[in-house]
Amino acid sequence: MRQGLLVILSGPSGVGKGVLRRKLMKDKELNLAFSVSMTTRPKRPKEQNGKDYFFVTKEEFGRKLKEDGFIEWVEYCDNYYGTPKSFVEENIKAGRNVLLEIDVDGAERVMKKYRGMYTLAIFLMPPSMEELERRIRLRGSESEDEINNRIQKSKEEMEKRSQYDVSLTNYTVNKTALRFKQCVQNRIRYCEQVEKGEKTDPTYIIKRP
């Protein structure tokens, strides 16, 4: 059986990764398994434990870290976030495409660790900084300090978008989901051609940092 893809979805806070992910997960043709991260950040009103995140204490997070249970983890705006290792590795082996919704630092680490054609890294851009700020404020879950912190961080993050295979501007979720799907399907086709010996182009390996 062909192994699944590791699909990284990254981009600044508030850009719409969560909305896009919820739409993509409904598309059965994409055969996606969403990797639910662990976080020490407080739950937002609409979020569900075990579905959006595993909300844990700093102690629980620390224990998982000690067990070497993450493929990557970060401290982001005073909270910890980590990608559980067993879920990702088991699903990829089982042929499912695993979706990681993670920040730029985490994405960089995953791209280094899982180099090659089975990893597809997609960066989501906001239409403008004004629109990004509007979307963060609309969420209404962060204090003024946290909002400013996230906006500052987003500028640094956007500077790194050239490290990704694809950068998509998120004008509307429907259009972005369609383009996202095309990227996944193109990559799957590419992997199949390499597996059959029809292509040997190592572009995807060379490009990575």
**108 contributes a contact to ligand 5GP by CB under 6 A:** no
Q: What distance, in Å, lies between the first and last C-alpha atoms of the chain?
A: 29
Q: What does the H/E/C string look like for 125-189?
A: ECCCHHHHHHHHHHHCCCCHHHHHHHHHHHHHHHCCHHHCCEEEECCCHHHHHHHHHHHHHHHHH
Q: According to CB under 6 A, which one of 16, 37, 119, 132 is a site residue for ligand 5GP?
A: 37
Q: State the nearest-atom distance from the C-beta of 163 to ligand 5GP, in Å.
A: 14
List the x/- string, 124-163, binding to ligand 5GP by CB under 6 A: ----------------------------------------
For residue 113, CA distances in Å to 80, 110, 116, 118, 209 come to 20, 5, 10, 12, 11
Q: State the nearest-atom distance from the C-beta of 98 to ligand 5GP, in Å.
A: 12
How many other C-beta atoms can be found within 10 angstroms of the C-beta atom of residue 189? 11
Contact stretch for ligand 5GP (CB under 6 A) within 25-33, 70-78, 88-96, 200-208: 70-78
Q: According to CB under 6 A, which one of 74, 98, 158, 191 is a site residue for ligand 5GP?
A: 74
Q: Which two tokens stand for residue 149?
A: 């912190």
151 vs 194 by CB, closer to ligand 5GP: 151
What pairs with residue 167 in β-bridges?
123
Give residues in contact with ligand 5GP (CB under 6 A). 13, 17, 37, 41, 72, 74, 76, 81-83, 101-103, 105-106
